[in-house]
Amino acid sequence: MITEVKEGYVKTEKEHGITTIEFHHHQSNSLPGKLLETLAHTIHSEGVNADTRVIILKSTGEKIFCAGASFDELESINTEQEGQHFFNGFAKVINAMRKAPQFIIARIHGKCIGGGVGIAASADYAIATHGADIKLSELAVGIGPFVVGPAVQRKIGLSPFSQLAIDAGTWRSADWARRKGLYAELHPDVLGMDDSIERLSFTLSHSNPDAMRELKKVFWKGTEDWDELLKERAAISGRLILSEYSKEFIRKFRN
């Protein structure tokens, strides 16, 4: 099934208890509000589907897994309410991934920027290739990784998260991300990555769903307040994106 949004889509494929959710946007898999909303809804729908045993989350292309927030959308924000609504889209995706009782395997075939790092961190098991470097660029834009921060910090710890957040212009290598725990596996090429995803998803699709559900609860214990926490963080970003600093950065980025 394909749900199309402006200049992008979310596609779902199902086979033998394995559901693959693929998202695409023509601008380096960046995420406008409608695509975030559709992605969150799709993950939630598969989470409550008893036939889905395991979820694979992937994107299209070759070089970039996800470029984070859509700059078209950031440029169009005019009020704090609009800003909070947009950034709450990332909160909805993260919380949908957190609440889905199935394990979510993320296929990270390329670079992750900003919100893309948050999506990778929200997966239960991320498998990547060399070249899947990461950067939390939000501070450079004049905001900060407020919404994705809890997910990233939970996965890699406060010190590595603070390094990414503070040095917002520097890429960290895929090997750095693996050593810090963001990626569970790192493969030299796409073939090796896909072989590993196929092996793991097949194994999980034949595992006890009740045991996996209880195990996921253990892994995510302590995040029960994220529905409200991430909304509050979205409000911070929604306010800051209206600053002259952010407006000027977006203008320079456009030019």
Cα atoms in the 13 Å half-sphere on the side-chain side of 227 = 3
When mean pLDDT is compared across 38-42, 237-241, 251-255, the lowest value belongs to: 251-255
Q: What is the pTM of this model?
A: 0.96
Query: Quick one: pLDDT band at residue 234, thresholds 50, 70, 90?
Result: very high
Look up residue 169 and give its two tokens: 């212009």
Chain position carrying tokens 């456009």: 254
Is residue 86 within 8 Å of 78, Cβ to Cβ?
no
Residue 83 has a pLDDT of 97
Q: Is 132 helix (H, G, I), strand (E, B) or coil?
A: coil
Quick one: which of 65, 64, 63, 83 has its CA closest to 73?
A: 83
Residues 2-47: tens digit of each pLDDT: 787 777 999 999 999 999 999 999 999 999 999 999 999 999 999 9
Angle at 207 between CA 224 and CA 184, to 5 degrees: 60
**What percentage of the chain reaches a pLDDT higher than 90?**
95
Residue 253 has a pLDDT of 80
Cβ-Cβ contacts under 8 Å for 19 (sequence gap 6 or more): 12, 13, 46, 49, 52, 54, 55, 56
Mean pLDDT of 144-162: 98
Is residue 45 within 8 Å of 98, Cβ to Cβ?
no
Residue 202 has a pLDDT of 98
**What percentage of the chain reaches a pLDDT higher than 70?**
100
Q: Is 57 helix (H, G, I), strand (E, B) or coil?
A: strand
- State the CATH class of domain 2-205: alpha beta
Q: Using alpha carbons, list the distances in angstroms from residue 198 to 23, 40, 56, 66, 179.
A: 19, 24, 10, 22, 23
- 196 burial via Cβ count (<10 Å: 0-12, 13-18, 19+): middle
Residue 222 has a pLDDT of 97
Residues 171-230: tens digit of each pLDDT: 999 999 999 999 999 999 999 999 999 999 999 999 999 999 999 999 999 999 999 999
- 155 burial via Cβ count (<10 Å: 0-12, 13-18, 19+): buried
How many angstroms separate the CA atoms of 215 and 152, rounded? 20
Hey, where are the domains in the chain? 2-205
